[in-house]
Amino acid sequence: MAFFTRDAWNTYSGSDAVSHHIVEFKDVHFRYPDGTDALQGVSFRITHGEAVGIVGANGSGKSTILMHMNGYLMPSKGSIIIGDLELTRHTRQEVRRKVGLVFQNPDDQLFMPTVLDDVAFGPLNLGMSPEAARQRVHEALKTVNCLGFEHKPAHHLSGGQKSAVAIASVLAMEPDILVMDEPAANLDPRSRRALINMLKTFTHSKIIASHDLDLILDVCNRCIVIRNGIVVADGLSKTILSNETLLEENNLELPLSLQRR
């Protein structure tokens, strides 16, 4: 099932671009309550319009980095700038208006009785009227080709449909920065290709963590490699993802498209 429509997505993708929508990590450290040092001095700067892939082996810190981008996690040390705001507990809600985070597991994102409730949750919490929120829901579900699912419980949907609705719940917030954790994990090949085509039309910043290195190569001009909570490489995706030695050192393999050459 190909559930993303290019024309509808364009309504989200660029009429009011603002050049100062950036993501900047400055010497960010994070330790989980069990003592695990997940991030150990992460620094990078992503500017408006960049498409950046974050790759690394399981446990490298990719998801932890993403969870910091809208304040689900707060750094133990260092600072994070989103747009013109430093992320603090006081600015976290404003940061979440700028950054839309799509979780790896859609079941972590979909928790309301119906799809309509899930997708409307964010806009309503922004203070929108029910009528305006319903319009946002319509546009977001149209974008992912899920109109007609409004009154279905999310747990009755297929894995791919759940992923689509989770993305719609973020699109309904109209974020300036789109952050996605393993967005293609539950998709069949046709839906994966449709997702890639959709992501290419999003002109604001997008940051994607994935083991699907072909998706990163296709969508992201820039790639950051994480190992044990440290940035070990940052550069052009085509350069980094064709460096077999670098990838092997970080428990990764060449993208399949490059292995066939």
Q: Which helix (H) or strand (E) holds 259?
A: helix 256-259
Q: Would residue 138 count as lying in a domain?
A: yes
The pLDDT, as a whole number, for residue 260 is 65
Nearest to 64 by CA among 241, 230, 254: 230
Average pLDDT, the chain: 88
The pLDDT, as a whole number, for residue 261 is 53
pLDDT at 201 over 90: no
The pLDDT, as a whole number, for residue 259 is 84
The CA distances from residue 109 to 15, 50, 121, 234, in Å, are 28, 25, 11, 30
Q: Would residue 75 count as lying in a domain?
A: yes
Q: Would residue 21 count as lying in a domain?
A: yes
Across the range 175-185, mean pLDDT stands at: 90
pLDDT above 70 covers a percentage of the chain that reads 91
pLDDT at 12 over 60: no
Give the type of residue at 257.
S
Q: Would residue 11 count as lying in a domain?
A: yes
Q: Would residue 259 count as lying in a domain?
A: no
pLDDT at 17 over 60: no
Domain interval for residue 184 = 6-251
Q: Would residue 257 count as lying in a domain?
A: no
- In the chain, the number of structural domains is 1
Q: Would residue 260 count as lying in a domain?
A: no
The answer to whether the CB of 172 falls within 8 A of the CB of 137 is yes
Q: Residue 35's pLDDT band (boundaries 50, 70, 90)?
A: very high
Q: Residue 185's pLDDT band (boundaries 50, 70, 90)?
A: confident
pLDDT, tens digit, for every residue of 64-73? 999 999 999 9
The pLDDT, as a whole number, for residue 21 is 67
Q: Which residues pair with 55 in a beta bridge?
A: 225
The pLDDT, as a whole number, for residue 74 is 96
Q: Residue 14's pLDDT band (boundaries 50, 70, 90)?
A: very low
DSSP codes joined into one string, 179-212: EEESTTTT--HHHHHHHHHHHHH--SEEEEE-S-
pLDDT at 20 over 70: no
Across the range 77-94, mean pLDDT stands at: 93
Higher local confidence (pLDDT), 69 or 189: 69
The pLDDT, as a whole number, for residue 16 is 42
pLDDT, tens digit, for every residue of 112-166? 999 999 999 999 988 899 999 999 999 989 888 889 999 999 999 988 888 889 9
**Which CATH number goes with the domain that contains 177?**
3.40.50.300
Across the range 51-63, mean pLDDT stands at: 95
Please, which residues have CB within 8 angstroms of residue 167's CB and are 6 or more apart in sequence? 102, 144, 180, 183
Q: Would residue 245 count as lying in a domain?
A: yes
